[in-house]
Structures are given as structure tokens and as C-alpha cells.
Amino acid sequence: MRPIYRLGYLLSNFFAKFYFHRTVIHPEKLAVPGGCLVVANHTSFIDPPMIGSAFPEAIHYMARKTLFSNAFARWAYLGANAIPVDQERPEIGTIKKILRLVKEGQKVLIFPEGERTFDGKLKEKGAPGIGMLIAKSKMPVLPVHLYGAYEAFPRGASFPKPARLTLVVGDLLDLNHLLENSGLSGKELYQALSDQAMQAIGNLKLPESEIAIDA
């Protein structure tokens, strides 16, 4: 891990344990051999550190290009393995970098919804650009679902409040069957792949034991 990443990793795990009491369901599934795309729901600014710090290794993140607005921010975000992305017009260089990372055995966290939700609920449709990454990489997809982040730090909040977080980890997906047998191409194929990823995220439910604790 890079020094900045390691510092953020340690701090994130500290807050995850003592402030958010984060629980990880099926943590063994995070130890994926080789590269993959990690797909997750997106409700809060704390999603990347609370998901990334659960992994036993450093992963990479997609972050809005506007966050890299000054030299210090750029240095810090790049040191934390963030990849600047233009949400309006994704650049070919960014796409190539993500594809290169996963093919080199790295893990990249992406949010098929494209932005934080306003109500904490998972959107029905994913962004087709995420499907394009899945199609171009032909790499496995790991779905995860983070619960409690919206309650802790929703849009408009100025500071995160204590709230129990639960990260549910799913099984590794191989979506190459859609590439080979769906008969779809172009944007229709990308949308189908993104929707499959969204469905996998939505299927990850809180265990009854966690629901009872939250209640």
C-alpha cells in the first residue's frame, strides 16, 4: 500500500470499528484472487472508504474529476488510489486505465448508479458506461451492498453521525455469458450488463440477525 493509502486505510478501519460498528457479512469473499470490478450501491460520501477498507488489500476507486481541483487534493486523491472521472464525458484515457488495472490483477470499485441516491434506495437501472467496462474488461464482477451509510451521512449532511454499517458481500459474477449468448450489442448490451450488476447488488439482503440488531 502507498503511504497515503495506508494512512487512510487505518483511519477508515478505526472509524468503521469504533464509530460505525461496521459488520462484514461473508468477509472471506473479499479475498478475490486476481483482478475484478467491485460494484456497489452508492448513498453516501463514506461509501468508498467504508467499502475499500474492508478489503485485505489496496483497491482503486473512481472519483469525480472536480475533486482533483488543486495540487494538494490531486496529490492526496491519487495517493489514495482514486481515479479521476469526468461524469459528463468519460475520457478514453480513464477507461483504458481502469481496464489496465483490472487486467493487471487490481480491484476497482465502481458505482453502477453513477451518483449518490437522494433517498438511500437502490436505483432500478445502472449507467450503461459501467456495462461497457464489464464488457471491455471481460473480468469477474464482485457485488457488495453497504447498509447504513445513508443513515450515517446522506446528501446534504455536514458531518457523519454514528450509525451501524453492514457490508454484505456477494459471490463473484461471471457475466461473459451475456457477451457471448445474449444477441445484444452496443448500448443495449452495456445496459443489460449494468442491470445485471444492479440486480446482483439488490439481491444482497441484510441477514435477519443484523435486522434484529438495527431494530
pLDDT at 135: 92
pLDDT at 92: 87
Q: How far is CA 29 from the centre of its chain?
A: 15
pLDDT single digits (tens) 123-140: 988 999 899 999 999 999
Domain 3-214 CATH class label: alpha beta
Domain layout of the chain by residue ranges: 3-214
Q: What is the dihedral angle through the alpha carbons of 158, 164, 169, 170, rounded to the nearest 10 degrees?
A: -100
Q: What is the DSSP letter of 181?
A: H
pLDDT at 53: 97
16, 61, 201 from 21: Cα distances, Å? 6, 23, 22
22, 106, 141, 142 from 172: Cα distances, Å? 22, 15, 6, 5
Cβ-based neighbour number of residue 56 at 10 Å = 10
pLDDT at 85: 87
Q: Is 42 labeled as catalytic in the residue annotation?
A: yes
Question: What one-letter code names the amino acid at 164?
Answer: R
Residues of the chain with pLDDT under 50: none
pLDDT at 180: 80
pLDDT at 215: 52
Q: Which of 21, 26, 42, 60 is catalytic?
A: 42
41, 78, 118, 123 from 199: Cα distances, Å? 11, 31, 19, 10
56, 87, 135, 176, 186 from 182: Cα distances, Å? 35, 28, 12, 10, 12
pLDDT at 86: 81
If you write DSSP's letter for every residue of 73-130 in order, what string do you get?
HHHHHHHTTEEEE-SSS--HHHHHHHHHHHHTT-EEEE-TTSS--SSSPPPSS--HHH
Q: Are 102 and 36 in contact (CB under 8 A)?
A: yes
